[in-house]
Amino acid sequence: MIVRRILTVGGLVAVFAISAVGPALADDLADYLADASDAVYSGSRVVGTTWDGIESIGIVEVQHLGGMATVDSGTSNAIVGEGRLRLAGPSEAALLFVGATQFDLDDRYAISTGETTEHLGRPTRVLEVTEAGFLRMRLVVDNSTSAPMATEVYAGDGSVFRYSTMIQFSVSVDPDMAMTDEHPYEMMLPVEEAVLPIDAAGYQLVDVYAGPQGANQAFYTDGLFSFSVFTTDGRVNWETTLDDDLPYDTDGFSYTRVINPASLWVTWNAPGTAIALVGDLPPDHLEQVLAELPRPGTNGWMTRMWNRLFG
């Protein structure tokens, strides 16, 4: 096993100290999430994101067993869950995250059980997750397995921002689904890094890791949604190197965004730092988060000259 020893004891202490300040657990929602994590099922799922009228859709085959899921798109296959991910194919990756993995749900979410219904002919129930009285997420949950049969995430304007729907469902899973994986994983350990805010619009900075190609990964979550902020020194010409990128202007600042079926990427250059945000948070949360992170901009001419001359 390849192990990257990039951790200091002090770093671990700092990281766990950060994670320990998480707000209280919302019991009911936590209970459901625990059940969903343990659910046993397989099927096909349609996922889509609609943001500012732009829609991105995908279909995947999913198997879920024992907290792990296999995801097959036909062109790639991955097994992911519980901080572990192995991506098969030309760009193989095998990552194992350890450390703060029990971040509590933010008490800003509440859950209520709605109507009893059916999905794909199966008895289901509706769960509604609200944030300060605002409907943030609606789940259709399979009664027997607790699997999420359909999910709708709402943006701040009340529109459906992201949705997923099972279009095929079974309680069976492939017996060969890897429960014991002997593949070597790159173990990711937190590093001591605190240049970004420890709280961004209600999202807690849980831990920081060494990212790919010398970048740093700061992981934030509010217990339900999450995102990572990747930072690296210098500037990246995002606009000329991304496909399907779109301008994204908010609060008078210009960013670049890529909308995927189940996630969004936002990239920009702050003074001296190139930044990429990758996550699943809804757009109104994103706006609030961006306001707490370094804004797009360039170093002043004097600063650039000073750095060039004196380092």
Partner 1 sequence: MADLTYDPDLHGELFSAYLDGQLTPDEVTIVSELLDGDEDAIREFVALRNVRTSLRMLPEFEVPAALLPDGHLGDRLSAYLDGELVTLEHRRVTKHLVECSECRAELQELDRARIAVRSLPGVETTMTQEIAATPRRHRRRRIVAGGIGAAAAAALVVGLAVGGGDEPVLVLNDLATQHMARASAEPGFAVLPSAIEVAAP
Q: Which residue has the tokens 């020194």?
A: 233
Counting Cβ atoms within 10 Å, is residue 91 exposed (0-12), middle (13-18) or buried (19+)? exposed
- Distance in Å, CB of 32 to partner 1, minimum: 8
Q: Minimal CA–CA distance to 219: which of 151, 280, 271, 130?
A: 280
Binding residues for partner 1, rule CB under 8 A, total 130
* Cα–Cα distance measured from residue 120 to residue 104, given in angstroms and rounded to the nearest whole number: 32
Does the footprint of partner 1 cover residue 311 (CB under 8 A)?
no
DSSP code, position 103: P
Write out the binding residues for partner 1, residues 35-94 only, by CB under 8 A: 35-40, 45-48, 50, 52-62, 65-66, 69, 71-76, 78, 80-85, 87, 89-91, 93
Min CB(81)–partner 1 separation in Å: 5
Nearest CB to partner 1, comparing residues 252 and 300: 300
The pair of structure tokens assigned to 4 is: 């990257």
Taking the complex as a whole, the smallest distance from the CB of residue 248 to partner 1 amounts, in Å, to: 14
Q: Which of 144, 168, 254, 303 binds partner 1 (CB under 8 A)?
A: 144
By beta-carbon proximity to partner 1, the closer residue of 33 and 196 is 33
Place of tokens 């619009």: 201
Query: If binding is defined by CB under 8 A, does position 201 make contact with partner 1?
Result: no
Residue with tokens 């190139």: 274
Structure tokens at 196: 């970004």
103 binds partner 1 (CB under 8 A): yes
Structure token digits, residue 111: 């859950």
Nearer to partner 1, 112 or 144 (CB): 144
Tokens 């000073």 correspond to 306
Q: Which of residues 230-249 bind partner 1 (CB under 8 A)?
A: 230, 232, 234-238, 241-245
Q: Which is nearer to partner 1, 179 or 252 (CB)?
A: 179
Which of 6, 95, 110, 135 binds partner 1 (CB under 8 A)? It is 95
Task: Say how many C-beta atoms besides its own lie within 10 A of residue 271's C-beta.
Answer: 14
Residue 149 or 293: the one with the smaller Cβ distance to partner 1 is: 149
The window from 8-16, 170-178, 195-203, 287-295 that contacts partner 1 (CB under 8 A) reads 170-178
Distance in angstroms (rounded) separating the CA atoms of residues 237 and 235: 7
Residue placing its CB nearer to partner 1 in the complex, 252 or 277: 277
For partner 1, which residue of 18, 201, 258, 286 counts as binding (CB under 8 A)?
258
Q: How far is the CB of 131 from partner 1 (least distance, A)?
A: 13
3-state secondary structure of 238: helix
Q: How far apart are the first and last CA of the chain?
A: 38
Dihedrals phi, psi of 18, to nearest 5 degrees? -65, -45
Contact call for residue 213 and partner 1 (CB under 8 A): yes
Q: How far apart are CA 97 and CA 209, in angstroms?
A: 9
Tell me: does residue 151 bind partner 1 (CB under 8 A): yes
